[in-house]
Amino acid sequence: VSDIIGQLSKILEARKQADPGASYVSGLYQRGTNHILEKIGEEATELLIAAKDAEQSGQNSEMIHEMADLWFHTLVLLAHLGETPHDLLNELQRRFGTSGLVEKANRDNV
Amino acid sequence: VSDIIGQLSKILEARKQADPGASYVSGLYQRGTNHILEKIGEEATELLIAAKDAEQSGQNSEMIHEMADLWFHTLVLLAHLGETPHDLLNELQRRFGTSGLVEKANRDNV
Amino acid sequence: VSDIIGQLSKILEARKQADPGASYVSGLYQRGTNHILEKIGEEATELLIAAKDAEQSGQNSEMIHEMADLWFHTLVLLAHLGETPHDLLNELQRRFGTSGLVEKANRDNV
Amino acid sequence: VSDIIGQLSKILEARKQADPGASYVSGLYQRGTNHILEKIGEEATELLIAAKDAEQSGQNSEMIHEMADLWFHTLVLLAHLGETPHDLLNELQRRFGTSGLVEKANRDNV
């Protein structure tokens, strides 16, 4: 599981050369930024709804499915705008004030 | 960079024992699901706006910052509902029809 | 123009008796609350994108189109949950601290 | 209730001359389009959450409150971009294929 994000990033990059009619991701690139953002808005909405349903049912699988869809489309946006997840992950890490040290967890106020 | 998500997940789990007044994440847990979902909606909105601004300026840093905020709050939701990122990452991987094999990229129609 | 909202409300109410296959609104009712909320999320997203594009182009027509779509689907939600726009409009009015008196505008801090 | 939207529009217009420190709406104008769009995204999110809660509780008042907040901030956006609700309401009406005739309701497939 450890480097799935990095692997997906390579696949998303490769999809820039693929036939937009044959690849879902290539089709997203072709339709452009507004279309990718619409998908992100849709998936964020579906995540909110699924999380409220999970709260009632105690079943999280649909919520996890929608969260994966949301992450997926944000990674497509990142690739479309010429970025890799490297800076995204670094930025995430900075939020925790860690240098990758879990032990620091109890000393920070994240 | 390879296992930042896994490390953050452990920190988010540890924050369940922290003082809600001293830790931002603990405060989110205490305020509950609706509040965490409001933050996800806010961050998704800020990502859309930042992506449109990036399209104009050619500068992606603010967009990456907002995307990290969005991922961060989805990971908080996941932890709050008792899940780890393991299933999320597996679900993401399934979208690409890979078993971790980048070579498959050109054969799939993702 | 003065009572369009009230007129639409009556049409939306009448659509509850219509064939879901023949009427877009009846189809929304039949698919249920989650589907109507997904549409609201989509239209809110499209409004944000159109507003950012309007900021650049100076052309507001697409933004107004998306705003009408958003209002339309919120009115469908209202009807689906058994409400009329009456309480919504009263609530809106309360935000301005007015009893319908425009003259008060300069004295309030809305 | 019939012309609340028109009245609010006049108040929103008047707020363009008000002190941004003393009026909430003037403060929104001053902070600019991105800030108004962030508020619209927040209110749309809160509406989704409140609608899901209403579905469970059978109580619609919080949902109506959030819907009013959403409409309010879209009207602020409209005013900020130099528009009146006139075109918005016309656009809404067009969705129903009416010329203000409720009797047409049963003949259209809206």
Subunits with 3+ C-beta pairs closer than 8 A to A: B, C, D
pLDDT beyond 80 at A101: no
Per-residue pLDDT at A110: 62
Contact A45/D at CB under 8 A: yes
Q: What pLDDT digit, counting tens, does each position of C53-91 carry?
A: 999 999 999 999 999 999 999 999 999 999 999 999 999
pLDDT tens-digit map of A77-93: 999 999 999 999 999 99
Q: Does residue A104 surpass a pLDDT of 60?
A: no
Q: Give Cα C109 to chain centroid, integer Å.
A: 25
A69, A78, D36 from D33: Cα distances, Å: 29, 24, 5
Rg (CA), chain C: 17
Q: Which of D48, D49, D56 sits opposite A56 (nearest CB)?
A: D56
The stretch A27-37 carries a mean pLDDT of 97
CB B101 within 8 A of CB A16: no
Could you tell me if D110 and D95 are in contact, meaning their C-beta atoms sit under 8 angstroms apart?
A: yes
Cross-chain residue pair C46–A41, CB shorter than 8 Å:
yes
Tokens at residue A8, please? 């997906």
Q: What per-residue string of b and e applies to C62-88 under the rule 16 or more CB within 10 Å gives b?
A: bbbbbbbbbbbbbbbbbbbbebbbebb
Lowest mean pLDDT among B7-16, C18-27, C96-105: C96-105
Chain A, 47 to 76: residues with Cβ < 8 Å from chain C are: 48-49, 53
Tell me the average pLDDT across C6-30. 93
Tokens (6 digits) for C32 = 């249920």
Q: Where does the pLDDT of residue A3 fall: very low under 50, low under 70, confident under 90, or very high at 90 and above?
A: confident
Comparing CA positions, the residue from B41, B6, B27 lying closest to residue B80 is B27
pTM comes to 0.90
Which residues on A lie below 8 Å from C42 (Cβ)?
38, 41-42, 45
Q: What is the pLDDT along chain B (110 residues), one digit of tens a residue?
A: 558 899 999 999 999 999 988 899 999 999 999 999 999 999 999 999 999 999 999 999 999 999 999 999 999 999 999 999 999 999 999 887 644 333 344 445 56
Q: Tell me what pLDDT residue C95 has.
A: 81
pLDDT digits (tens, 9 = 90+) for A59-80: 999 999 999 999 999 999 999 9
Which residues on C lie below 8 Å from B50 (Cβ)?
none
CA distance B9 to B29: 14
Q: CB under 8 Å to B32, separation ≥6 — which residues? A: none
Whose tokens are 């670094």? That residue is: A90
Q: Which of C47, C70, C88, C101 to mutate to test the interface with D (most CBs of D within 10 A)?
A: C88
B42–D contact, CB cutoff 8 A = yes
Cβ atoms of D26 and D20 closer than 8 Å: yes
Runs of H (alpha helix) within chain A: 4-14, 24-31, 33-57, 61-80, 85-94
Residue D69 has, within 13 A of its CA and on its CB side, a CA count of 20
- How far is residue A83's CA from residue B44's CA, in Å, rounded to a whole number? 18
Whether residue A107 has pLDDT greater than 60: no
Q: What is the ipTM of this complex?
A: 0.88
- Measure the CA angle with vertex D1, ends D83 and D16; round to 5°: 30
pLDDT confidence bin for A102, thresholds 50/70/90 = very low
Q: Does B63 contact A81 at a Cβ distance shorter than 8 Å?
A: yes
Please report, in tens digits, the pLDDT of each residue of chain D (110 residues total): 558 899 999 999 999 999 988 899 999 999 999 999 999 999 999 999 999 999 999 999 999 999 999 999 999 999 999 999 999 999 999 887 644 333 334 445 56
In this structure, what token pair is assigned to residue B98? 């890979």
According to the model, what pLDDT value does residue B96 have? 76
- The whole-number pLDDT of residue B2 equals 57
Task: Give the N- to C-terminal CA distance of chain B in Å, as an integer.
Answer: 25
Task: Return d(Cα A81, Cα D73) in angstroms, integer.
Answer: 30
Which of D34, D41, D53 faces B42 most closely, judged by CB atoms?
A: D41
Query: Counting beta carbons within 10 angstroms of the beta carbon of residue A28, is it exposed (0 to 12), middle (13 to 18) or buried (19 or more)?
Result: buried
User: Considering only residues 5 to 24 of chain D, which have any Cβ-Cβ distance to chain B shorter than 8 Å?
Assistant: none
Secondary structure (H, E, C), chain D = CCCHHHHHHHHHHHHHHCCCCCCHHHHHHHHCHHHHHHHHHHHHHHHHHHHHHHHHHCCCHHHHHHHHHHHHHHHHHHHHCCCCHHHHHHHHHHCCCCCCCHHHHHHCCC
**Dihedrals phi, psi of A15, to nearest 5 degrees:** -65, -15
pLDDT in tens, C26-63: 999 999 999 999 999 999 999 999 999 999 999 999 99
Nearest CA in chain C to B41: C41
User: What SS3 class is residue A59?
Assistant: coil
Instruction: Look at residue D53 in the predicted model and tell me its pLDDT.
Output: 98
Query: Do residues B108 and B98 lie in contact, with contact meaning Cβ atoms separated by under 8 Å?
Result: yes
